[in-house]
Amino acid sequence: MTIELPIVTSTKSNITSRPLKGEKAAVAKTGINGKTVKNDRGVTIVLPDVLKSDMTEKTGGVDWGSIIKKSKERDKEMSEQYDRVRKSLKESLDSTRSTLDKINTTKLVVKDSMDHAKALDKRWEKFQSDFDEAMSKMVDRIGRAMKRGGGLGLGSPTMLKPINEGEEGPSDIQKRLVLGMDLTLNAITRKLRAKSYSKVVVLMGAGCSTSAGIPDFRTPGTGLYSNMSRYNLPYPEAAFELDYFNNIDPKPFAELSKGIYPGRYSPTLAHRFVKKLQDEGILHRCYTQNIDGLERLAGVDEERLIEAHGSFRGEGFCGLCKAKVEEGVMKDGMLNGRCVPCPRGSNECKGNCKPPIVFFGEDLPLKFKSNYMSDLRTCDLLIVMGTSLSVAPFCSLPLLAGDTVPRLLINSHKVGIFKGDGEDG
Q: Which residues are catalytic?
A: 309
How many angstroms separate the CA atoms of 48 and 50, rounded? 6
How many angstroms separate the CA atoms of 368 and 27, rounded? 121
Q: Let me know if 287 is exposed, middle or buried by CB neighbors in 10 A (0-12, 13-18, 19+).
A: buried
How many angstroms separate the CA atoms of 351 and 328, rounded? 19
Amino acid at the residue 307: E
How many angstroms separate the CA atoms of 187 and 183, rounded? 7
Strand ranges of the sheet holding 324-325, from the earlier edge strand across to the other edge: 324-325, 316-318, 352-354, 340-341
